Amino acid sequence: MSQMSGSCRCDQLQFTISGKPVLSGFCHCHACQKRTSGPCAGFLMVKKEQLDITGQSQQFKDTGGSGKPMIEHHCSICGTTVFTELKVLQDILAIPASTLNNPSQFSPETHVWVSSLNLHFAISDNLSQEPGPPRAVLKYLA
Ligand SMILES: [Zn+2]
Ligand SMILES: [Zn+2]
């Protein structure tokens, strides 16, 4: 897979991802609904060493579904979240798929946290559905 790149809305905060993401999918958790103002959020999970960031970010600390902290890094100018540290997983970062410069590079594999499916959203594809966090990344548990 070729390199992926992305940015916040104002392009101050930019990133590149080297290699294939660990997992791609849609998250239906309430935190993603609030963060995006939408029914769900496309995400990529990558290893820390795959991500290269330029620009300045501010941090917002929240608690994830695991009860462990998640630290969102957003642009200090436009507010777009560009990556999130999930303290429940070692060396894994989550990136909103909406920040990709070429959205066609997003290839979702699963829906996660479908127990929080809300806002009249209905899943109409054949991807796997998981009630909680993605099982595919449990091997990275901190
Ligand atoms: Zn920005
Ligand atoms: Zn979520």
Could you report the average pLDDT of every consecutive run of 10 residues in the chain (142 residues)?
Answer: 90 98 96 93 97 97 89 97 95 97 97 92 96 93 91
- Ligand 2 centroid, distance to 11 Cα (angstroms): 24
**Residue 24 domain boundaries:** 4-140
The residues placing their C-beta within 5 Å of ligand 1, an ion, are 8, 10, 12, 75, 77-78
| Res 77: pLDDT | 97
Model's pTM, two decimal places? 0.93
How far does Cα 81 stand from its chain's mean position?
9
Nearest to 9 by CA among 47, 49, 51, 55: 55
Distance 26 CA to ligand 2 centre (A): 8
pLDDT digit string, tens, across residues 121-141? 999 999 999 999 999 999 999
Measured CA angle at 93 (ends 129, 84), to 5 deg: 95
Q: Which CATH number goes with the domain that contains 85? A: 2.170.150.70
Ligand 1 centroid, distance to 122 Cα (angstroms): 31
Distance 30 CA to ligand 2 centre (A): 7
Q: How far is the CA of 67 from the centre of ligand 1 (A)?
A: 29
Domain count, the chain: 1
Do residues 111 and 130 touch, judged by C-beta distance below 8 A?
A: yes
Characterize the bridge pairing of strands 110-112 and 128-129.
parallel
pLDDT the model gives residue 119: 84
State residue 1's pLDDT score: 53
